[in-house]
Amino acid sequence: MDILHLVDRLEELFNESKPIWFTHSVVVDEDRMLDLIDQMRITIPDEIKKAQQLLAQRDRVLAQAQEEANRTIALAREKSEKLVDKDPTTLAAQVRAEQIVN
């Protein structure tokens, strides 16, 4: 059962409870209240476990996306270096640089 549903049931129990005159107190059905508390004790750890699993899954997806982004950037750099190396202006500059050095 979902914790928000249990909170709604708790609120409903409170709203159905009889007020005590001239106070801010109400008389609550003890069995129903204790039953809801027991259900909350059971449900909360399950909800936390689900949340932790979702966070772990999110972290895995983000890590995979980062790896793919890094690969894409590396490929783009490699391609741009190859294009620059094949560029006639770059080739001419390299030849001229070798002539000057030698």
22 φψ region: left (φ > 0), alpha (ψ -120 to 50), beta (else): left
Per-residue confidence (pLDDT) for residue 72, from 0 to 100: 96
- Helix or strand or coil: residue 18? strand
pLDDT in tens, 61-80: 999 999 999 999 999 999 98
E strand or H helix at 27, and its extent? strand 26-27
pTM: 0.53
pLDDT in tens, 32-45: 999 999 999 999 99
Give the other-Cβ count within 10 Å of 47's Cβ: 15
Radius of gyration of the chain (CA): 34
How much of the chain, in percent, has pLDDT values that exceed 70? 100
